[in-house]
Amino acid sequence: MIKKGIQSDLYYRQRKRTWLSDLKMRFFKCWQLYVLFLLPLLYIIIFKYYPMYGAQIAFRDFRITDGITSSPWVGIKHFERFFNSHDFLNLMKNTLGISIYSLVAGFPFPIILAIMLNYTRNAYFKKTVQMVTYAPYFISTVVMVSMVLQFLSPRVGIINVIREIMGLDRVNFMGVPEYFKSVYVWSGIWQGTGYGAIIYLAALSSIDPTLHEAAIVDGANKFQRIWYIDLPGIIPTAVILLILSTGQILNTGFEKILLMQNPMNTRTSEVIDTYVYKVGLASKTINYSYPTAVGLFKSVVNLFLIVVVNRIAKKTSDSSLW
C-alpha cells in the first residue's frame, strides 16, 4: 500500500511538472501575444471590475469623510426610495418607450442599406454612399444635437421654412413633448445607420458566392436571392446585435437627451439617466448612494434581459452569446 502511494505521488508530481513545463514553453513561444493581451485585461480589471467594489454604497448612506466601509449600512433604503418615488413610473415609461422605439425603428435600416449596397455594381457610387452614410457616426453628440436644434428651430429652421412654403404653420418641435421621442430616435437612426450597415456588409461578404451562382442558374431573381440566401446568412449577426441592444434597453444615452431637454418637453424626455444626474449630482446636496442604487438597478435589469433574450435566441436559432 505504501509503495503504491509513493508511486501515485511520484506520478502526480511528474504530471504536474510536465504540465508546468508545457505551460512555460507555450508562454515563451507566444509571449508577444500574451503581452498584447495583458493591456486590455488590465484595463478591464482596473476600470470595470475594481469599481464594482464601490457599488456597495448603494446599500449605505455614503459620506466621503467616513469612506465606503465606515458609512452606515441601510440595506435597500435607497431602492425603496426610488421605487416609491412619484417619478418612477414616468421614468420607466419614458426610458423604455425611447429604447424600444429606437430598437424597433432603427434595427431594419442598416440591414436594408447593407443589402442595397451589396447589390450595387457601380463601385464609385457604392463608396460614395458608404462615406455619406458612415460620416454622421463620427459627429460628436454636442454637434449633432446643435444641428438638430438648428434644423428644427421655429424661427430659422429649414423644416419650418419648408412648412411655411407649403402653407403650414411653424412648429416648435422641441417645445412639444409628443415630438421629443421621434426627434431623438430618428436623429439617432440617421447617425448610426451607416455604421450598422458596415457590420452587415461584412457578414454579407462571408456568404459563399457559389450559392448566388447556383441560384442564378436556377432562375432566382434578386428578391429571391435576398430572401433565401442573404437574410439567412446575416441572421447570426443580427441576433447577436439584437441581444446586445436588448442588454442596453435602460441606457438611452444621457448626453444627447440632456442636451435636447428643456422645461417644455421634460414630461416625455426625463429618463433614468438624466434623473440620476439631477437628483444625485446636480442638486445642492450631493448624494452618492441614491444614484448608485438606481444605477445598480439598471445594471441588474439589463443583465436579466440579456440573459433571457440570449436563452430565447439559443432555443430558437443557433446564434447566441454563450
Report percent pLDDT > 70 for the chain: 93
| Average pLDDT of the chain to the nearest whole number | 87
Give the model's pLDDT for residue 321. Answer: 75
Quickly list DSSP for 243-255: HHHHTTTT---HH
What are the chain's domains? 2-59 (no CATH), 77-316 (1.10.3720.10)
* Mean of pLDDT values over 110-136: 92
Mean pLDDT of 182-194: 94
Residue 274 has pLDDT above 80, yes or no: yes
Kindly state the average pLDDT of the residues 118-130: 90
Neighbours of 270 (CB within 10 A): 18
Q: How far is CA 83 from CA 36, 77, 293, 306, in A?
A: 45, 10, 11, 22
Assess contact for 113 and 189: CB atoms under 8 A.
no
> Which of 241, 285, 294 shows the shortest CA–CA distance to 77?
294
Q: What are 67-119's pLDDT values in tens digits?
A: 888 889 999 999 999 999 999 999 999 999 999 999 999 999 999 999 999 99
Q: What would the pLDDT profile of 26-62 be if each residue is shown by its tens digit?
A: 767 777 777 888 888 899 899 888 888 888 999 999 8
pLDDT given for residue 3 in this prediction: 47
Residue 248 CB neighbour total at 10 angstroms: 16
Work out the angle between the directed axes of helices 88-106 and 108-118 (0-180°, nearest 10). Answer: 10
The DSSP result for 172-225, as a single string, is -GGGSHHHHHHHHHHHHHHHHHHHHHHHHHHHHHTS-HHHHHHHHHTT--HHHH
Q: Average pLDDT, stretch 292-315? A: 89
